[in-house]
Chains A and B, each alone.
Chain A
């Protein structure tokens, strides 16, 4: 099993898809392995084994809360970003349905976890508004002001976009929304662990985060819930997570998230600077060596590890495959269920023409990337792009 045959052909593989997922840190893996072996107890159990597991959960809860500047009691562990987003949106919608207010607001560039959830609620009679963005990839606060009504229950706006990395002015947007009595949720999956995130400074009510985006394991995430915010539990059952999320906790995964949160907090400032330098070098190198390229969202505040680049006269699908065959792992933002690429809804919402929504590649850097990696990409890319562009229709059509 495994891609051994081809692996022999590609000597070095460079991973530039950290916005999709990150490799768990060695410390995370070690602590999780230990937890699986020794802290197997059910945190709800009264006995020693349960207490050991419970105390490990509490430790992880504190570390996770600290990563976003919240109180440990405000953290509810989930299975990841998607569950947290669903929990936030459906939870608030269900809790406030009795008020008769039935309006939800998000942006057109949200993650599918938010967009699809809104669509599902729209089918059940909720009014939904998707705020536009301009070519900078930023939501205009005025657009939110206009969209808010007395009916608006919840506003959900992502902190940073997963495809292009642009950072929304969440503090300002949250202030506007809450002034009109709406609950404010932000999907911080792409910022938590990458840049400082402080729920108080942001002034939000709900914040989603996911462990595997910051060198933790898959299957662990959290929703930070400001004390006093009412929302229904997504799952019912036992009294875990103060009755807010039933089901025996993913103890090892949560412990892994706690370790990852501590590491991230520790490394964030220096690593952010390092990645920004590498990212800028990558962008400069590509713009200089490959004609017909442009950075999407370049003039906006962005997370330091992300760049999204359009390549004229190339299909992103082909470029992605050709780069993978050359040992360079990148992505576009969206993939459908089979893993094929679809035009980017983010670039479409930014007002780019159709071809540009299908010729853009996301490079997202991370801890293991070095200057040599970036150099290699800059060396390989021009040839790969050239080859794809030169594909004349050598094959006769019948």
Chain B
């Protein structure tokens, strides 16, 4: 079977590609160039998919023995992922670009290219599992719960899941590194990438301000009661639950509670005020069920990548929206992040927090 592997140059996608090749698949490695690489002299830029990473992917392909190509997705990446990222921050929300990149690039544009090259599937180095159950393609957590990335994959449609392969989803990270050494891949000891790949040095604020100068204007920092505690230099510098960098002194720690993009006001308060027992989400994708559940169903929900899933229930609302209730209050429900609902290991669905 001909398979395209989306290769970032990291150890996970490298092992994914090498394992598929070892199983006898006709592997084609594709890497996406997502932003201008500039000159080598301009120094380090992003944290993944840099020129060095693309070269790493190429070396792995050459070691294992399959062809590798680099696709120029700069324009598409700007138009989809980056513009959404900037727009979300400018709206006072906290975006989740990796999920958009998965659904709008890897499993759409890249998958489409794969079809053009005679490949039916796209494999990635994600820690997640796809499983056919009855007529549905299920998305499940990876065997290594610590590395699980199903949270970032919730937008995938049934067609996309049907074409997706996650070869490392059944392995632990330790096993992946062991496989990389066994297969003599040069990236075996390469550190994991941490930051959002296209933002230099993790400095989101400067990145957003450069792309959307209008957001970088001063606003007020308000207490819950409405009194003015200070000023700030742009709402894009804040996310819900943020404690550092508020520039306001207070005897008790203060946290960002609300960001109002229209007024430019940032409301702060004590940690207890961050707690919510309900939320709504938009753009909901129901993965495990054909029909959106009109009645409450029990789920555990995750409201950010590193969130311990919280028990509660979910039901569908109109217009691809959903309502979630938690059994216990959850801290820092953040608009723009994803909420993903699970039943055991299975992704029931997910959406974007309103």
Contact = CB atoms under 8 A, between A and B. Distances in A.
B67 interface: yes
B326 interface: no
B66 A5 contact: yes
B163 to A, nearest CB: 8
B33 A338 contact: yes
B69 A394 contact: no
A391 interface: yes
Contacts of A325: 28, 67, 117-118
B283 interface: yes
A12 interface: no
B104 A394 contact: no
B72 interface: yes
A2 B62 contact: yes
B169 to A, nearest CB: 21
Interface in B25-71: 26-28, 33, 37, 39-40, 51, 54, 62-67, 69-71
B173 interface: no
Nearest to B154: A398
Contacts of A340: 33, 70-72
Contacts of A393: 112
B283 A322 contact: no
B116 interface: yes
Contacts of A337: 37, 39-40, 51
Contacts of A396: 157, 159-160
Nearest to B155: A398
A395 B159 contact: yes
Contact of B112 (A3, A342, A394, A398): A394
B54 A338 contact: yes
Contact of B67 (A324, A341, A388): A324
Contacts of A394: 112, 115, 159
A339 interface: yes
Interface string B95-134: 0000000011001100111011110000000000000000
Interface in B57-98: 62-67, 69-72
A176 B57 CA distance: 50
A314 B224 CA distance: 57
B33 A318 contact: no
A1 to B, nearest CB: 6
B72 A317 contact: yes
A317 B71 contact: yes
A321 B115 CA distance: 12
A393 B163 CA distance: 14
B66 A398 contact: no
Contacts of B118: 325, 387
A385 to B, nearest CB: 10
A67 B315 CA distance: 80
Interface string B145-173: 00000000001110110010000000000
B65 A321 contact: no
A37 interface: no
Contacts of A7: 65
A1 B58 CA distance: 12
B21 interface: yes
B115 A391 contact: yes
Contacts of B21: 5
A395 B160 contact: yes
Contacts of B65: 1-7
A372 interface: no
Contacts of A322: 116-117
A9 B283 CA distance: 43
A336 B285 CA distance: 38
Interface in A377-398: 387-388, 391, 393-398
Contacts of B37: 336-338
Contacts of A391: 112, 115-116
B155 to A, nearest CB: 4
A337 B54 CA distance: 10
B62 A6 contact: no
A2 B66 CA distance: 8
Interface-centre pick from B33, B107, B117, B159 (highest chain A CB count, 10 A): B117
Contacts of A321: 69, 117
Contacts of B107: 395
B77 to A, nearest CB: 12
Contacts of B27: 5
Interface-centre pick from B67, B283, B285 (highest chain A CB count, 10 A): B67
A325 B29 CA distance: 12
A342 B72 contact: yes
A7 B70 CA distance: 19
A5 B64 CA distance: 8
Nearest to B28: A325
Interface-centre pick from A325, A391, A393, A395 (highest chain B CB count, 10 A): A395
Nearest to B111: A395
Interface in A300-326: 317-318, 321-322, 324-325
A335 B119 CA distance: 25
A3 B66 contact: yes
B67 A395 contact: no
Interface-centre pick from B40, B72, B283 (highest chain A CB count, 10 A): B72
8 A-B pairs closest in CB distance:
A340-B72, A5-B65, A398-B155, A396-B157, A4-B65, A340-B70, A388-B116, A398-B103
Interface of B: 21, 26-28, 33, 37, 39-40, 51, 54, 62-67, 69-72, 103-104, 107-108, 111-113, 115-118, 155-157, 159-160, 163, 283, 285
Given A5-B27, A339-B69, 7 more contacts: A3-B66, A3-B67, A317-B72, A318-B113, A324-B67, A325-B118, A337-B51
22 contacts: A1-B65, A3-B66, A5-B66, A6-B66, A9-B26, A318-B113, A318-B116, A324-B69, A325-B118, A337-B37, A337-B39, A339-B69, A340-B33, A340-B71, A340-B72, A387-B116, A394-B115, A395-B107, A395-B115, A397-B103, A398-B155, A398-B157
